[in-house]
Amino acid sequence: MAQEQGQSLIRKHLLTGRELMEIEQLAEVCNKYEDLHMRFNWLRSRPPSEETNDFLYYEDSKLVGYLNISSYGSKEKELLGMVHPGHRRKGIFRALFTLAREECLRRGAQGLILVCEHASRSGLAFAAAIEAYYDFSEHAMELGDFQDRRTIDERFHVREAGIGDFKALVSIMATDLGDAEEAKFYVSQFLQRPRQRFYLGMLNEESTGCLRLDEMEDETGIYGFVVRPEYRGRGYGRQILEATIRTIRAEGDKRITLEVETNNTNAIGLYRSCGFQVITTYDYYSFGL
């Protein structure tokens, strides 16, 4: 912890209930100021960790800055953060970024990915200031009125995956990530988490694709949705998605969200046809270590 004239910069691996509430309140202020859609509700359902992933900046006991290192990925680490509008241009985010960079270097990461909402002028300015380069963008989408076509193929079914499906999940994810080791890290990490679920699409006994559900307090996120290349364009992706949405809806009335690259027109068309709508767009900037 660094302290000077009522300022404190704190590293944490486990957030208290009060800290979680302060982060959510800070996000609300930042969202209102720039008309953003930042949400940190997923922090409440995040599993315990021994790694330092949270950095908090206080002035006179008030939280004015926060930065998070995502646990996803081993070679590159995603960073997401914010600073109170009334406390910007003081070097607060740079101080948070410096600590996070040091932590990622200590873990052997090769690069950082800054996640910045496209509408955030301050975020885009910081990415430019540190000379991070633009990589890609994703739309965040939310399901409205579900348009269920209920395509039926008696040979095809969707089921929840377990540890016995590790090899199948890795082989599917590797077709998307392009790296078998990164796919193993991804699958092994999320299979161990109680609020994460994988689903497999099966054609007879052959796995065709998968997706992962992230259960949060008020929403369910759909991530890692991949169909094997040889099964694309045959309607199996829609069947996996529709079956999973029906499962989520049967369990409650949580919001259903997902993210998709802005240049993935086929996937965006599928999601829109199911009832998803774009709520915001995120830009991703890479920073080498």
Angle among Cα 37, 91, 14 to the nearest 5 degrees reads: 60
Whether residue 217 contacts residue 247, with contact meaning beta carbons closer than 8 Å, is answered with no
Query: CA 79: distance to chain centroid?
Result: 10
pLDDT of residue 1: 47
- Cα 69 from Cα 76, distance rounded (Å): 10
At 224 the pLDDT is 94
pLDDT at 178: 87
- Residue 5: the pLDDT is 56
User: Looking at domain 2-131, which CATH architecture does it have?
Assistant: 3-Layer(aba) Sandwich (3.40)
pLDDT (tens digit per residue) in 62-94? 999 999 998 776 689 999 999 999 999 999 999
- Structural contact between residues 57 and 9, judged by C-beta atoms closer than 8 angstroms: yes
The sign of the torsion formed by the CA atoms of 17, 19, 6, 33 equals: negative
Tell me which residues of the chain have a pLDDT lower than 50.
1, 3
Residue in this structure with the two tokens 């499906």, named with its chain if needed = 165
Per DSSP bridges, beta strands 156-160 and 255-261 are unpaired
Residues 6+ apart with CB under 8 A from 22: 56, 63
Give the Cα separation of 112 and 191 in Å (integer): 24
* Residue-level pLDDT at 6: 78
142-279: CATH class: alpha beta
pLDDT of 152 reads: 73
The residues spanned by each domain of the chain are 2-131, 142-279
Residue 218 pLDDT? 87
Backbone φ and ψ of 110, nearest 5° = -100, -15
2-131 and 142-279, same CATH topology: yes
Residue 285 and residue 127 in contact, taking contact as beta carbons nearer than 8 Å = yes
d(CA 262, CA 255): 21
